[in-house]
Amino acid sequence: MSARRPTPLLALFLRDMQLAWAGGGGPLLAGAFYLGVAALVPLSAGPSPERLAAMAPGLAWLVLAVASLLSLERLFEPDWEDGALDLLAQGRAPLAAVAAVKAAAHWCATGAPLALLAPAAAVALGAPVRIAGPMLAAALLGGLAFAYLGAIGAALSLGARRGGLLIAVLVLPLLVPPVIFGAAAVEAAALGGPWLPSLALLAAYALLAVAAAPFAAGAGLRNALG
């Protein structure tokens, strides 16, 4: 064998990235949803610039959390349906590592593009331009937490009836800390205050999610395979 073959987990990561971008550009769909909901905000809250500017950072952040929930349903389900998950379970890598890699690929494919949109949406709603940097950082870190916490919900609701809505109900209470920390960072940046402490807390929470959530998600996958 001449060319070095990638390790199984790396191959899984690359495969998931390719699948995410193949056929219809899945990440773009989440981005379109994000922009669509952001466009509804001025329509429902009124076009008054002062009012919008006051709400813009928080709303851009909230819509980001909701948009990242939507794509979770297809995180494990296709692999579970076509039997790829059974093959992955028979591999040497534990299912927790499989869950971690798939969540990481999900974040790269969906979370990161959404994070790029977040500052644009916030500024379009009337937030000051100086929040763009903190907003991007918060959206990247928050998206990481959303992806890994979401993986728990996606794995646990495999094979359940009403999958999509169920994932949202399972995951939303878990999202309280990252939403609070991220919104605080963005809010502080909008007011010109110190936003790094909140961002550090958000980063801590995201790292905790990355470290702990794969075990719960892996247990959920094992359980779904039975």
Partner 1 sequence: MLTVLANPARFMAVSRPLVPVLGAATALLLAVGTWLSFTAPPDYQQGNSVRMMFVHVPAAYMGLFAYACMGGASFAGLVWRHALADAAAKAAAPLGAGFTFLALVTGSLWGKPMWGAWWVWDARLTSVLVLFLLYLGYLALHAAVEDETRAARAAAVLALAGLINLPVVKFSVDWWNTLHQPASLLRADGPSVAPEILAPLLVMSLAYTCLFGVLWLVRTRAEVWRRRAHSVRRAPAMRATLTPEAA
Q: How far apart are CA 151 and CA 27, in angstroms?
A: 17
Interaction of residue 170 with partner 1, rule CB under 8 A: yes
Q: 159 or 192, CB closer to partner 1?
A: 159
Work out which of 181, 189, 210, 214 binds partner 1, going by CB under 8 A. 181
Q: How far is the CB of 151 from partner 1 (least distance, A)?
A: 11
Q: Give exposure, 44-61, as e/b (b: 16+ Cβ within 10 Å).
A: eeeeeeeebeebbbbbbb
How far is the first Cα of the chain from the last one, in angstroms, to the nearest whole number? 37
The nearest distance, CB 178 to partner 1, in angstroms, is: 9
Least distance in angstroms from the C-beta of 149 to partner 1: 8
By CB under 8 A, is residue 174 in contact with partner 1?
Answer: yes
The amino acid present at 147, given as its one-letter code, is A
Strand ranges in 90-189 using DSSP code E only, listed in sequence order: none
Helix (H) or strand (E) holding 128: none
Q: Nearer to partner 1 by C-beta: 123 or 210?
A: 210
- Rounded least distance, CB 213 to partner 1, Å: 8
Determine the interface stretch with partner 1 among 11-19, 26-34, 65-73, 206-214 (rule: CB under 8 A): 206-214
Answer for the pair 113, 28: CB distance below 8 angstroms, yes or no: yes
**Neighbour-count burial of 68, counting CB atoms closer than 10 A to its CB (0-12 exposed, 13-18 middle, 19+ buried):** buried
CA distance 128 to 192: 10
Question: Which of 20, 184, 185, 210 is in the footprint of partner 1 by CB under 8 A?
Answer: 184
Residue 40 or 196: which CB sits closer to partner 1? 196
Contact 57, 190 (CB under 8 A): yes
Per-residue x/- track, 125-164, partner 1 (CB under 8 A): ---------------------------x---xx-xxxx--
Distance CA 30, CA 75 (A): 13
Work out whether 66 is an interface residue with partner 1 (CB under 8 A): no
Query: Can you say how many angstroms the Cα of residue 39 is from the centroid of all Cα atoms in its chain?
Result: 20
Q: Is 98 in the site for partner 1 (CB under 8 A)?
A: no
Distance in Å, CB of 80 to partner 1, minimum: 13
State the residues that interact with partner 1 by CB under 8 A.
Answer: 152, 156-157, 159-162, 166, 169-170, 172-174, 176-177, 180-181, 184, 201, 205, 208, 212-213, 216, 219-220, 223-224, 226
